[in-house]
Homo-oligomer: A and B are copies of this chain.
Amino acid sequence: MQYAIIDRPNLADTVADAIREMIVDGRLADGERINEVQISAQLGVSRTPLREALNRLTADGSLFAKPRHGYFVSPLTADEFVQVYDLRPILDPAALRLAGPPRPAQLDKLEALNKKLDALQKPERVVACDDEWHRELLAHCPNRVLLDMIESMIRRTRRYELALMRERKRVLNAADTHRQIMTALRRGDLDRACAALERNMREGREPILEWLAARTKNGGTKKDAAA
Contacts and interface: CB of A to CB of B under 8 A. Distances in A.
A146 B66 contact: no
Contacts of A52: 51-52, 55
Contact-residue size bin, chain A (C-beta under 8 Å from the other chain)? 20 to 34
Contacts of A84: 145
A83 B3 contact: no
A90 B87 contact: no
- For this chain, the copies found in one complex come to 2
A143 B87 contact: yes
A9 interface: yes
A8 B69 CA distance: 12
Contacts of A7: 66-67
Interface string A151-180: 000000000000000000000000000000
A69 B1 CA distance: 14
A43 interface: no
Nearest to A12: B55
A199 interface: no
A83 B48 contact: no
A38 interface: no
A144 interface: yes
A51 B52 CA distance: 8
B83 A143 contact: yes
A226 interface: yes
Interface in A119-159: 142-146, 149
A7 B64 CA distance: 14
A224 to B, nearest CB: 10
Contacts of A218: none
9 contacts: A10-B67, A55-B59, A59-B60, A83-B142, A83-B144, A87-B143, A87-B145, A87-B149, A149-B149
Which A-B residue pairs are the 8 nearest by beta carbons?
A59-B59, A83-B145, A83-B143, A55-B55, A90-B94, A10-B67, A84-B145, A7-B67
